[in-house]
Each structure stands twice: as structure tokens, then as C-alpha cells.
Amino acid sequence: MIDLTTAPKQPSAMRKAVAIFAGVSMLSIASTSANAAGTLAGTDIVNVAQASYDGPSGPITVDSNPVTIKVDELLDVTTASSNTGDVVTSPAATTQVLSYQVTNTGNGQEAFTLTADTAKGGDDFDTTFEQIVLDTNDNGVYDPGVDTVYSAGTNDPVLNPDQSVTVFVLSTIPAGAADAERAEVGLTAVAVTGSGAPGTTFASAGDGGGDAVVGSTGASSEDSGFFIIQAAQITLVKSAAILDPFSGNQPVPGATITYQLVATTTGTGTLNNLVVSDDIPSDTTYTPASITLEGVGLTDSDADADAGSFDGTQISVALGAIPGGQTRTITFQVTID
């Protein structure tokens, strides 16, 4: 390059030429962009040095020989669970989804083989593997019938450098899984070109024509998501108190029986739409408007908003959604015929 700082007065035409040349250089700088994964595989690094000096007949510029080096493909991948914390599920549930993000952290376009591992040790139970599904519409949510079912070797996701794909692993929860138990499900992504110890080289297998070299991730990455069972059980305890017409407690005709039902929920889950009902015993007559819940009287009508009802043969109290660890006490009265 001509050294402008020491050059004598320049003709205006040369100034123009310098300006154009500088403009071209700026363009090439603007297009300089390296992604996080580094220079793209297959890029040629060409180095040319230039010397300039004043020869006997004026300024001379000399170019050196060009040295061309090709950038190899680095094979790198990361897998990360997309679920924040454990995913709540219940025994015998099907199509239970765990989400993962697979990112090509290498510098070339690469396909990845996906495998799910539902048989991890160290957890409380194993789920039954259903499918791996690719988030085809890229919305981060499993859409049955829209997202594509993954089949190894057939539709291995092909990712550009820095590109990610969301992957869903679908599981069936065993019926025998108990409350608060956890299950670990792993997803592994492996570069199709090859994997192994960092530095392992696959000659001429790289994107762009160079070699493919295993990077620091080993070109294989696994992460796990977790299911947790949230279930609840209910126990009902029934007791009876008799008050006879003589202020005693003999079960004689005309005596009033007060039944008490205590519903106790246990577990970490919630029982939804919980309804407690009880048949009126034969040879007894229900005492109208005698239902109470937590000591508060309820009506017998099923048509009103309150929780209690009597349909002629049984009383019923709709408790709604009751989380584990609570009790509800219901009473009603009958008289002995």
C-alpha cells in the first residue's frame, strides 16, 4: 500500500483512487461478522502481505505470495432441558411432555441424532417412552398432529451454526407411581458426522470440504428433565350418634340418628370435583334441611348454589377442589321409623 503520510503532493485523480480503494475496504469490514460458534466451516483464510517503497522510478507496491488455510468444521452440540423445575403429572397419565433445546454450537451445518433415556437410575420410577417429537412450528409447545414425530436416521434435525431446535419427549406415567415420586428422562443429541474425545478428527468430513474435528462438547450432549407425581387420596370416616325421645341413646323408633362424615385428603395433589354422598338407611326417614358442612347448614335443593342436596334416597355435598392435607366434616340426621 502506498504510504500516504509521506507521499508528496498528490494529484487529485490519485486522491479519488485512494478514496475508492478505502471505500472498498470499508465494505469488506462491514461484512466481517463471526457468530458465536466461530468462523464458518469451509471459510478460506487468505493472507497476503504488501510492501511499498520508492524505487528508482517512483512508488512500487509488492504483494507477497498468498497463503490459504481452510477453516475446519468443529463438531459441538449442547442439549438443555427447557422445563423450569419438575413437570407435574399423575399416575397412568399418557402423552406427558418434557421439553429440551438442542443447539448446534459448532461452526458448520450439522445433523444430530436424538435418543431419549427413560430408564435413568437414581430416580423413583421410570416412564414408558412414547415418542420424540420435533417442534416443527417452532412455538415451544407440543402440538399433536402439527409437530413432526422424530425417527432416527430419517429426519435427524439439521442445524446451522448457533441454530436451535426444541425437542419434546413424550412419556406414559406408570399407574403404580406414587405421590411425590420423581422420574428422570434424558435426551441426548449426537453429531451425525461423528463424536468422541475432543480433538478426534474425521478427515474431509467437515462442512465446506475441510476436516471435521470434535470440539469440547465431544459432539454429544445430554440433559435431563423430571416428572413429579402429584396425587391425593381421600379417606371417609363415618360415625353415628343416637338421641332417643327419652333423652337417652337407645335406637328405638322415633330416635334421631346424627351421622357424621369426616373426609380427609392426603398427598401433594388436589382432588377436583370432590362429591361426598351417602344413602339414607332403610327404615329411617331423612330429617329435612339437616345437612351441615363444617357446622354450617345447607339446603336440600339441588337447584340452588349451595353445596348440599337431598334427592329422596341420598344426601350429597359437592366439595369442589380440595388439596391434600385438609378435612371436611359433614353431618345429617335421620329418624328411626
Partner 1 sequence: MKVKILKYIATFAALAVPGIAIAANNVALSSDVFVERKVEKPDGKTAVLLEQPKTVLPGDNLVFVVKYKNVGSAPATDFSVTNPLPKAVAFNGTSDGAEIVSVDGGKSWGSLSALTYTRKNGEIRPALLSDVTHVKWKFNRSLSVGSEGKLVFRGTVK
Q: Write down the least CB distance from residue 200 to partner 1, Å.
A: 12
Residues of span 175-234 touching partner 1 by CB under 8 A: 210-211, 213
Residue found by looking up cell 485523480 in the block: 13
Kindly indicate which of the ranges 54-62, 138-146, 189-197, 317-325 contains the residues binding partner 1, using the contact rule CB under 8 A. 54-62
* The binder of partner 1 chosen from 9, 34, 152, 253 (CB under 8 A): 34
Among 39, 256, 299, 329, binds partner 1 (CB under 8 A): 39
Residue of 9, 37, 83, 134 interacting with partner 1 (CB under 8 A): 37
CB nearer to partner 1: pick between 38 and 225: 38
Q: Taking a C-beta distance cutoff of 8 angstroms, is the pair 291, 298 a contact?
A: yes
**Which cell numbers hold the place of 41?**
466451516
With binding defined as CB under 8 A, does residue 67 bind partner 1?
yes
What's the CA gap between 165 and 138, in Å, rounded? Answer: 8
Residue with Cβ nearer partner 1 (19 or 305):
19
In whole angstroms, the minimum distance from the beta carbon of 209 to partner 1 comes to: 9
Of 55 and 312, which has the nearer Cβ to partner 1?
Answer: 55
Helix (H) or strand (E) holding 102: strand 96-104
Query: How far out from the chain centre does Cα 157 lie?
Result: 18
- Taking the least distance from each CB to partner 1, the nearer of 72 and 181 is 72
- Which of 72, 184 has the CB closer to partner 1? 72
Compute the distance between CA of residue 97 and CA of residue 166 in angstroms, rounded to an integer.
12
Query: Which one, 33 or 247, has the nearer CB to partner 1?
Result: 33
Instruction: Residue 77: name the closest of 181, 178, 216, 220 by CA.
Output: 220
Minimal distance, residue 78 CB to partner 1, in Å: 16
Identify the residue among 89, 104, 107, 265 touching partner 1 (CB under 8 A).
Answer: 107
Question: Residue 246, Cβ neighbours under 10 Å: how many?
Answer: 10
Task: Report how far residue 108's alpha carbon sits from residue 171's, in angstroms, rounded to the nearest whole number.
Answer: 33
Binding mask 4-33 for partner 1 (x = CB under 8 A): -xx----x-xx--x---xx--xx-xx-xx-
12: three-class secondary structure by DSSP: helix
Instruction: Kindly report the number of other CB atoms within 10 A of residue 83's CB atom.
Output: 14
**CA 222, CA 116: separation in Å to the nearest integer?**
9
Cβ nearer to partner 1, comparing 29 with 303: 29
Buried b (16+ CB within 10 A) or exposed e, 272-286: eebebebebeeebeb
Tell me which residues touch partner 1 (CB under 8 A): 1-3, 5-6, 11, 13-14, 17, 21-22, 25-26, 28-29, 31-32, 34, 37-39, 43, 45-56, 58-67, 69-72, 74, 107, 210-211, 213
